[in-house]
Structure 1
Amino acid sequence: MRLVPSVEQTGFATTLHDMLSAARVPEAADSWAEGNHGPGRQLWTQLADLGVTALAIPARHGGLDATPIDLVIAAEELGHHAVPGPIPETLATVPTLLAALTETVPGGEAERWLSELAAGRALATLTAPPWLPFAVDADAAELVLLVDGDAVGTARRGTVHSSMDRTRRLYEVESAGPVEICPAVGRALDLGALVCAAQLLGAGRALLEAAVAHARTRVQFGRAIGGFQAVQQRLADVAVGLEFARPLVYAAAVTLTPRDVSAAKVACSDAANRAARAALQVHGAIGYTQEHGLGRWVTKVRALSLSWGAPADHRARVMAELTKGATWN
């Protein structure tokens, strides 16, 4: 089992990082939060040019037929840069559902949507209670799905709810089209949870980098606060948590078992939340201001840790998998 990216995958991550660093993502995210999706959609077009939107789509539908590890690598960078939009839905879950539907209903709408998603001409979102009671950013998505057990169908958006993350809008949806039975629902939802975990890992890394940079320049009592042992130990704990979470994500990408996916989601949620708390403590009051920008990652971490199954849900699933078939004396 390979728990580190290959040379080619590292190069892909570097290329994606460089593109996002030059793409003025914060401005696109602010516009997205105000309901103006134009700059954000331009950003998604650039991601499509790099093949990000085609990773989980079969080659016969214009995709790259990439592995879950490739999805994890891309999602970590998207989380690192706080890219707005329905990332697990568009990159992983909906393509997996549509690809499975093309096997049972060839030549249907699913094939057209796969081509649109691969080319970056469409975004997709979905609801799948209880993990996903709302469809994220349904106002920006061309395709909205409703998953109920093994049944999958199109949906239309209804009442909107605000999120703690300004760049996310949560929509209630109702069925709007034919329903098909899809055998890949479990795998699709696990892929979405895994991509969400990778986003959290990337966001946690960004928060650690911001805290370290601030600690090097912020002066208190005549010296940079990074020189104080309490600050060093706090940031070291964050770094250790992120590094321990990373191999769990890669292991889950290889096995894609419910236990491993849930373990990765729990570890990344805990590590990213620890990074958010430490970053706020290191920055002090300035970290709470909207103008500073740290909150872009802090609120996203909080929202993502509760999305695609809260930590308690995934801990329960890990326990259920570990005790399956066990007998107690």
Structure 2
Amino acid sequence: MDFRLTDDQQALRKGVRELLERRFDRDALRAAAETPGRLDRALWRELGAAGFFALRVPEADGGVGLGLPEAVLAFEEAGRALLPGPLVATHLAAGEVAGAAEGEVVVTAPDGPLVEWLDAADVVRGDVGGARPVRSVDPLTPLHRLPGTAGAAGEGRLTAALLTAAEQLGSAARTTETAVAYARTREQFGRPIGAFQAVKHLCAGMLVRTEVARAAVYAAAVTGDPVEIAGAKLLADEAAVDCARDCLQVHGGMGFTWESDVHLHLKRAWVRARRWMPRAVAEEAEAAHLSPW
């Protein structure tokens, strides 16, 4: 299977990255972290105008007419930038909920016992009766807890799991890049810390986890196979969490401070790992496929 990106796919990824670098740079990220629960509606509309939410909507219905692999590339960039908001739910609603494709309407949906961005959403797909706010470990993802276990089913849940895995992949790639850049410039004992074997091993392990997850996510995007999606979610969750932890280790004491962005990647990775096919569900899917009974 050839996972090399086409020229059009590379252009798509480049375009999304440039849009986010322009409209959601580090200053915007820090401002969002300081104002939990506030969603940038102007940016949401720009994403809609760029076709982010309508990527998989047929051209005949006013969408971009692309497929799941292209959506994965876009969501990978969103994860790399730590873009906040119910991106997955709004993307799934495009073409079904008026205004979602254009970014004029923010859509959220419950998944298991949690629903994100409930107060900021214009449309909620699913029953959220009895939802109560809970303190989220991630300042960029406000959460409500539901009394039941409602959530999307079938293809919708699988697509949501894969797009969430793509976000995790983007985060893992970003923390790997951040760790390597810091290791090249931070000096101890007159040498860059990247010259020390222990730090080299940390960075090498981060790269391996990220690229293994990338292969799994890209493959699942091409096949759409439920078991491959479950495997991709498992590997991407592991890569995002463990790479953020290792990035924090490379940064040392500075990594624990509020001023560092590393902790934001780790906290978002924790939250995403609990959303749209958490570990136990993905492992059950894999086990059911492997079991001869």
Q: Does 1:134 align with 2:100?
A: no
**1:15-45 CA deviation, whole Å, 9 max, x = no partner?**
111121122444444444424635x222222
Within 5 Å, which residues of 2 pair with 1:57-206?
A: 57-92=57-92, 94-95=93-94, 110=96, 113=97, 115-129=98-112, 133-146=113-126, 155=128, 158-172=131-145, 185-206=153-174
- Equivalent pair of 2:37/2:141 in contact (CA under 8 Å): no
**Residue identity in the other structure for 1:212:** V
SS at match of 2:100: helix
**1:258-287 CA deviation, whole Å, 9 max, x = no partner?**
201000001111112221111011001111
The Cα of 1:221 is off from its aligned counterpart by 1.1
Within 5 Å, which residues of 2 pair with 1:259-298?
A: 259-298=227-266
**Residue identity in the other structure for 2:81:** H
**1:220-277 CA deviation, whole Å, 9 max, x = no partner?**
1111101112211210111011111111111111221220100000111111222111
CA 1:220–1:138: 2 relative to 1, 3 Å: same
Larger gyration radius, structure 1 or structure 2: 1
- The aligned counterpart of 1:43 is 43
- Equivalent pair of 1:90/1:117 in contact (CA under 8 Å): yes
- The aligned counterpart of 1:106 is none
SS at match of 1:89: helix
More strand by share: 1
Residues in 2 aligned to 1:307 and 1:278: alpha-carbon distance in whole angstroms? 22
Residues in 2 aligned to 1:185 and 1:7: alpha-carbon distance in whole angstroms? 34
CA 1:19–1:271: 2 relative to 1, 3 Å: same
**Residue identity in the other structure for 2:138:** D
CA 1:128–1:302: 2 relative to 1, 3 Å: closer
**Residue identity in the other structure for 1:144:** V
Residues in 2 aligned to 1:252 and 1:224: alpha-carbon distance in whole angstroms? 39
SS at match of 2:109: strand
Residues in 1 aligned to 2:111 and 2:260: alpha-carbon distance in whole angstroms? 35
Residues in 2 aligned to 1:301 and 1:319: alpha-carbon distance in whole angstroms? 24
Seq. identity, %: 32
- Equivalent pair of 1:158/1:174 in contact (CA under 8 Å): yes
Q: Select between 51-60 and 263-272 the one with higher mean Cα deviation.
A: 51-60
CA 1:49–1:266: 2 relative to 1, 3 Å: same
- Equivalent pair of 2:114/2:146 in contact (CA under 8 Å): yes
- Equivalent pair of 1:216/1:226 in contact (CA under 8 Å): yes
Q: TM-score, normalised by structure 2?
A: 0.91
Q: TM-score, normalised by structure 1?
A: 0.82
**1:174-231 CA deviation, whole Å, 9 max, x = no partner?**
99xxxxxxxx931110000000000000001110111111111111111110111221
**1:57-94 CA deviation, whole Å, 9 max, x = no partner?**
333432223201011000000000000001221123x3
- The aligned counterpart of 1:180 is none
SS at match of 1:54: coil
- The aligned counterpart of 1:236 is 204
- The aligned counterpart of 1:107 is none
Residues in 2 aligned to 1:127 and 1:156: alpha-carbon distance in whole angstroms? 11
- The aligned counterpart of 1:105 is none
Q: Does 1:321 align with 2:289?
A: yes
- Equivalent pair of 1:73/1:198 in contact (CA under 8 Å): yes
CA 1:21–1:196: 2 relative to 1, 3 Å: same
- Equivalent pair of 1:144/1:156 in contact (CA under 8 Å): no
